[in-house]
Structure 1
Amino acid sequence: MASVSVPEPAITVVGIGADGWVGLSEVARQALRAAEVVLGGPRQLELLPPEVAAERVGWPSPLRPAVPGLLAAHRGRGLAVLASGDPMFFGIGRTLAELAGPDALRVLPHPSAVSYACARLAWPLEETEVVSLVGRPLDSLTSALHPGRRVLVLSADAATPARVAALLVERGFGPSPLRVLEQLGGPAERQLDGTAAHWPHPPGDPLNVIAVDCAAEPGRPRTQLVPGRPDAAFESDGQLTKRHVRAATLASLAPAPGELLWDVGGGSGSIGIEWLRAHRDCRAVAVERDQARAERITRNAAALGVPRLQVVTGAAPAALAGLPTPDAVFIGGGLTAPGLLEACWTALPVGGRLVANTVTLESEALLTQWYRRHGGELLRLAVAHAVPVGGFTGWRQAMPVTQWSVVKAPVDDASVVEVSDQGEQQ
């Protein structure tokens, strides 16, 4: 049988650390010596010795939009790309794999800053949370803060440690010990110690990692992982899916990693926010017609550690046009708006979930019609709270919530058996 030749990958991605050329393996050095073009950041390119004779091309800013053009410009030449540490860990390797395809890459990793930091601190890597603030909002760190947890923060620049310290104080984690590890693995490596509440150090080296031992202030309310956060955790004007109903709603929406939610009639944003907190890869869009409420959703998302929540200001269904296809849709308001349910149902792919809540008889009648057409589950959620009644205690009933939840099946409406008001099959 004739052998099949496998083409060499077009791009060699070389991870490099603060120790530069001396820290590279001979395989990585040889790949760089053989390259005709080397792409990288200015700091990384400066680490290469004269024996690397390739043309050196620095990354522009913003980087990602420029990558396809740079790859096309140097197609057919021996191309190498320099990356900090492990290229596939918050690095350029992911972008290259997405744009050029994994078969086009040969990746030669170096120990990441996280591996170095855990080695210096004797922290188990598998038990350490990692948050990157490179190109990401500072508030992204908030969702990782829990008493007793250890977090490594990948800094954006020299000012990041002081900004992290300020955020920790603002979020009630001022007692947390901080350690800033600069130039890990290189000859200029050093460590700075302090606490968030009393961070004494001026900005240092921009190449740093921040180690946080999370310690909360006495009396700070604990942060839970499961849906159903206290209502007081959300800034609200009253348009809020209340705690117990919210927990039941998230159970019906059933978030999973990578899935996208449409939160239609966002109110205070609580459903979209709890969806995003279920997993770091979950995505959500909150659609809210009221400008003040839309701004409030943005504030709530930042305060609760999910600033990635996309907020669209506009009235549905018109505001839904052009949004990416959802895996799940929640309708928390405006059910009787002409065409809203139809638009949400049409947007859902087969297997997608739709959950709608209402407290009005008019919307309940509409949900009943859709339940008869498409099946699913129709239920009523009733919550009562114990309150003082004179010298005794009694129950105060909240308005009951009617909820319809359904998974879109691969059948048309005509195949669903309808049921009359008398319960007889038609």
Structure 2
Amino acid sequence: MTDNPAGLTVVGVGADGWSGLSGTATAALTAADVILGSDRQLALLPAEVPGERVAWPSPLLPALPGLLDTHRGRRIAVLASGDPMFHGIGATLLRLGERVRIIPHPSSVSLAAARLGWPLADVDVLSLVTARVEELHPLIHPGRRILVLSRDASTPAEIAKLLTIRGYGDSTLTVLSQLGGRDEASVHGLAATVDLTGVNPLNVVAVECGRGGARLPTTPGLPDDSYDSDGQLTKREVRAVTLALLGPQPGELLWDIGAGSGSIAIEWMRSHRACRALAVESSPERAARIEANAGALGVPKLKVVVGRAPGALAGLPAPDVVFIGGGVTRDGVVEAAWAALPEGGRLVANAVTLESEAVLAAWYAKLGGELTRVAVSRASPVGGFTGWRTMMPVTIWTVVKP
């Protein structure tokens, strides 16, 4: 951590301003030589607080280290909205290596749960302050409760629109604004019909999901028709087995090489919010389809790299896990993927042709691992009867880098 002998204190403040602060918080602000915060937050301080007031620049993050260095050696107080460690500036400062004292205030989510009588342990929480509204998709399930931190006054309408398009227009929305302040207010109604005109920008959206919309499982193996595809799609049963062998862990980065429709990378990211993925696809048309599928299935942060492996892999962030769904027969693809993996990194490759199977067999002989063949049959009409139609078998090679 960076040395800061004079001290850096982060004080959470609510919409009720100075009157809602504890004695510890007011004492820290009164003793500060300089107070950093947004214009709105600084305006909440009474005139008798003596410290120099400095408003955040825009954009904040690139300027933050230099701003702190400018005031290094002085007693610095930073104003945060609510709980500084809940999607707040406190966590950002700690990531920068600062020595920070945190004085929290109830978060807007805690206040919203209190107003609604919702036990927080049973509620999903999502911040859309910097994220896209599509990240709401994986949380939408019949009867589930969700609390969403809004970016601004437009966020509640975006949420209502997404729910309605998804078939959950019967969901109940409650928009709670200025929580804890004198101007606290709420708007209540169904997603399909609620009037959100004039909503205050400082708001939290509470969603109680209806029961009429499409139901997508949380486990790997989404229905094939969940994806827009030109046929380059790892089928549902094989996809579930492949994801199990990939073994997603929170925070890991996956390279999905030859991504096709993006199904492996998408379901990798759906397994946990912290899972990350890069989808490498040589076809610009398919790359655009991957981005559309990622948004529709709730992982808009999926990064799509348009290019042909192995050349397209150069300069990418190092992966924790690699999946090769296409291009395994191309010279240098497996070599580049293997070289990029760290010790303990995992590689999974699928093959459906004799040529690609031969490549996997050769690598299996060289590096070991496991070879698995998956054959799936689906029932379908045969005249007036029902018979089995067998899909092309898939050979899967799995190996861990020693």
**TM-score normalised per structure 2:** 0.98
1:118/1:125 contact within 8 Å kept: yes
User: Could you say which residue in structure 1 is the equivalent of 2:94?
Assistant: 97
SS in 1 for 2:288: helix
Select which of 62, 70, 74 maps to 2:71. 74
RMSD: 1.2
Alignment correspondent of 1:49: 46
C-alpha offsets along residues 132-166 of structure 1, whole Å, 9 cap, x if unaligned?
11011111111111111000010111111111111
2:253–2:275 Cα contact (<8 Å) kept: yes
Classify the secondary structure of the residue corresponding to 2:379.
Answer: strand
Is 1:216 equivalent to 2:208 in the alignment? no
User: Percent of counterpart pairs with the same letter?
Assistant: 62
Q: Are the equivalent residues in 1 in contact too, given 2:37–2:80 (CA < 8 A)?
A: yes
- Displaced runs of 4 or more, over 6 A: none
Q: Which has the larger radius of gyration?
A: 1
Match of 1:32 in 2: 29
Unaligned runs of 5+ in 2: none
8 Å CA contact 1:159–1:203 kept in 2: the answer is no
In structure 2, how many angstroms separate the alpha carbons of the residues matched to 1:256 and 1:211? 29
1:160-194 deviation per Cα after TM superposition (whole angstroms, max 9, x unaligned) = 11111111111111000100001101111111111
Equivalent of residue 322 in structure 1, options 303, 307, 315: 315
Q: Give the structure 1 partner of residue 390 of structure 2.
A: 397
How many pairs align?
Answer: 400
What does residue 359 of structure 1 align with? 352
| Secondary structure class of the residue paired with 2:381 | strand
| 1:228-239 correspondence to structure 2 within 5 Å | 228-239=221-232
Using the TM superposition, give the Cα deviation of residue 7 of structure 1 relative to its aligned residue in structure 2, in angstroms: 7.8
Distance in 2 of aligned mates of 1:9 and 1:164: 44
**Are 1:129 and 1:151, in contact at CA under 8 Å, matched by a contact in 2?**
yes
Do the aligned residues in 1 keep the contact of 2:137 with 2:297 (CA within 8 Å)? yes
Q: In structure 2, what is the Cα distance between the partners aligned to 1:148 and 1:52?
A: 47
Distance of 1:98 and 1:380 partners within structure 2: 45
Correspondence 1:66-215 to 2 at 5 A = 66-101=63-98, 104-215=99-210
Matched ranges for 1:334-353 at <5 A:
334-353=327-346
Structure 1 residue 196: deviation in Å? Answer: 0.5
- The residue type equivalent to 1:39 in the other structure is L
> TM-score if structure 1 supplies the norm length?
0.92
CA distance in 1, matches of 2:118, 2:230: 44
For 2:60 and 2:138, how far apart are their aligned partners in 1? 27
Q: Secondary structure at the match of 1:100?
A: coil
Q: Which residue of 2 is the match for residue 418 of structure 1?
A: none
**Unmatched 5+ residue regions in structure 1?**
1-5, 410-426
Residues 358-416 of structure 1, C-alpha deviation per residue, up to 9 Å, x if partnerless? 1111111111011011111101110011111122221111011111011111xxxxxxx
Give the whole-Å Cα distance in 1 for the aligned partners of 2:133 and 2:191: 15
Deviation at 1:10, TM superposition (A): 2.6
Task: Tell me the distance in 2 between the aligned counterparts of 1:122 and 1:176.
Answer: 18
Aligned residue number for residue 407 of structure 1:
400
Name whichever of 321-330 and 6-15 sits farther off. Answer: 6-15
Letter in 1 for 2:332: G
